[in-house]
Amino acid sequence: MPEYCTPEDVRNRLTANGYLNVGDLDGDGLVESDEIAASITSAIEWAGSEIDYALINHQPPYPLTVARASGNIFLRSRAIDCAAWLVTTNGGRDVPSSFQSAFERAVEMLEGIRDRGNEVPGLINGTTTWRDDGRDIFEIQSEAFT
């Protein structure tokens, strides 16, 4: 299954300098494929497992294959928040407050999905109010204006 975000997404969140700072494990001034696998990819996989846990424990559960393949911006953003936070903790670093806040907010949102039944914006699982009679709610609203 695909991950919710990519190393490029995490790099964009960290900026080029931040990515080099946290990804260059051997200190040679480059973030190489083995370093991406060791830190960035493992953080992305961890973030994905956190999202999967929230989705599968939602009632009714979201199908993970659909969620992972959806390209959902909400899920991608939460994955980036979690992965960027984890990567910045490598080596016992202090996490910048903006990354800490984004991570805490992501955890809060995922807990809302898992524990309180909050819906994932834009992801249909059979209980959402985003659809009515098999049509997007936006189609129905646009008919009201014509």
Q: What is the pTM of this model?
A: 0.80
pLDDT of 33 reads 81
List, run by run, the mean pLDDT of 10-residue segments along the chain (146 residues).
Answer: 92 85 80 81 95 95 92 96 93 87 97 94 67 45 45
pLDDT of 94 reads 87
Yes or no: say if 7 and 44 are a contact pair by the CB < 8 Å rule.
Answer: yes
pLDDT of 127 reads 54
* Backbone phi, psi, residue 132, to 5°: -145, 120
pLDDT of 144 reads 47
Q: How many whole angstroms separate alpha carbon 61 and alpha carbon 53?
A: 10
3-state class (DSSP) for residue 136: strand
Q: How many whole angstroms separate alpha carbon 21 and alpha carbon 14?
A: 9
pLDDT of 22 reads 80
Residue 118: partners with Cβ closer than 8 Å, 6 or more residues away: 109, 112
